[in-house]
Amino acid sequence: MKHILFFLISLFLFPFFQRNELRAQDNSNEIIMMPQDKQLVESILLQLKEDQKQETGLLVIKVGKLLLGTPYVAGTLEVGDPERMVINLRGLDCTTFAENCLAIARTIHKNNPKFNDFVEELRFIRYRDGILKDYPSRLHYFSDWIYNNDQKKVVKSISKEIANIAIEKKVDFMSSNPQDYPILKTHPDFVKEIAIQEDVITKRKTWYIPKNRLSEFEHSLKDGDIIGITTKMPGMDISHVIIAIRLNGRVHLLNASSKHKKVVISEETLEQYLNNYKLITGVMVARPL
C-alpha cells in the first residue's frame, strides 16, 4: 500500500497535459500517456496479484480504493484530432474512473498480466465493439456504454432483471450542442454520425430503477456494480457514473466526484444521493463479468 501512495503523491506533481507526454506505438494505434500512468498500473497489478481468483466486481472495488484521492479532472480524453488511445490515471472523471477500475480488474484475471494487457482491456471497454477508429467510435453516452459492453460480455446489464421498468428518453445532446465539443465543431460529418447513434440509442428499449423505488431493490445491488445515474436533463441519458460499495449494509458511492474534486467514498447512501437532486430519475446497473 505504501508504494501505491508514493506513486500517487508523485503523480500529482505533474501537470495533466505536458508536452513531453509519451506517444508510444501499440499496433496501429497511438497511445498518449505519461510514464507515471504505466508505473501506477503495474504497481496496482503487483499489489493485487494474489487476488486473481476474486470476482471482478470485488477487484473493481479494490482498485478503486487504491485510487482514492486521485484528482477529479474532466476532459482528459479530449487530446486533439485524430482520436487517440489515452491512458491517464493522474486525473479521472466519473466515467474514466469506472473504466480504468474495470480494465485493471479484468487484467488481474489474466496469467502474468502486463501493462499492454491493461491497454487492450481499456480500449475494448471504451470503444464501440472494442475498435478505436475515430471520435464517434468512442462510447460517449453511458447507456450505450452499458449496452455495448453487455454485448461484448464485459458487463451484464441487470436493470431489467432487477426492476423490469422501462425508461423512455430522447438522446440528442451532443448533436444538438456541437459547439460544446471541439472535435464536433471541426468535423460536421461526425455530428451526423453521432446523430445516427443517438437515434439508435433513443429507439433502443432500456430499463432502469426509479429513485423512488431504490429502497425496494437496493438489496439486489452488489459491491462493484457500475451504476449510471439517469437524468431529466434534455438530451442526456446519464449524468454521473459510480461504483456501488456497501457500508454497514447500505449502498454508497465510490466515485470520481466533481463536488469533492477527487475520488472518494461518499458518506451519504446512494438513496440519499439520488433524493438530493431533482434532475436525477434513477439508476441503470451494469455488473462486471
Residue 81 predicted with pLDDT over 70? yes
* Mean pLDDT, rounded, of the chain: 92
pLDDT of 259: 97
Phi, psi of 143 (to 5 degrees): -65, -35
Report the pLDDT averaged over residues 62-67: 98
Phi, psi of 194 (to 5 degrees): -60, -40
Q: What percent of the chain has pLDDT over 90?
A: 89
Secondary structure of residue 125 in the 3-state scheme: helix
3-20 pLDDT, tens per residue? 444 344 344 333 333 334
Q: What percent of the chain has pLDDT over 70?
A: 90
First CA to last CA distance, the chain: 26
Q: In whole angstroms, give the CA distance from residue 85 to residue 107.
A: 17
Report the pLDDT averaged over residues 77-90: 96
> Which neighbouring-strand residues pair with 29?
26
Taking alpha carbons only, the member of 284, 243, 283, 248 closest to residue 265 is 243
CB atoms within 10 A of CB 156: 15
27-39 pLDDT, tens per residue? 335 899 999 999 9
Residue 26 predicted with pLDDT over 70? no
Report the pLDDT averaged over residues 101-130: 98
> Which neighbouring-strand residues pair with 255?
264
Q: In whole angstroms, give the CA distance from residue 45 to residue 57.
A: 16
Amino acid of residue 137: S
CB atoms within 10 A of CB 18: 8
pLDDT of 123: 98
Q: Which domains, and CATH codes, for the chain? A: 2-137 (1.10.3670.10), 154-288 (2.30.260.10)
Query: Model-level pTM?
Result: 0.91
206-247 pLDDT, tens per residue? 999 999 999 999 999 999 999 999 999 999 999 999 999 999
pLDDT of 33: 97
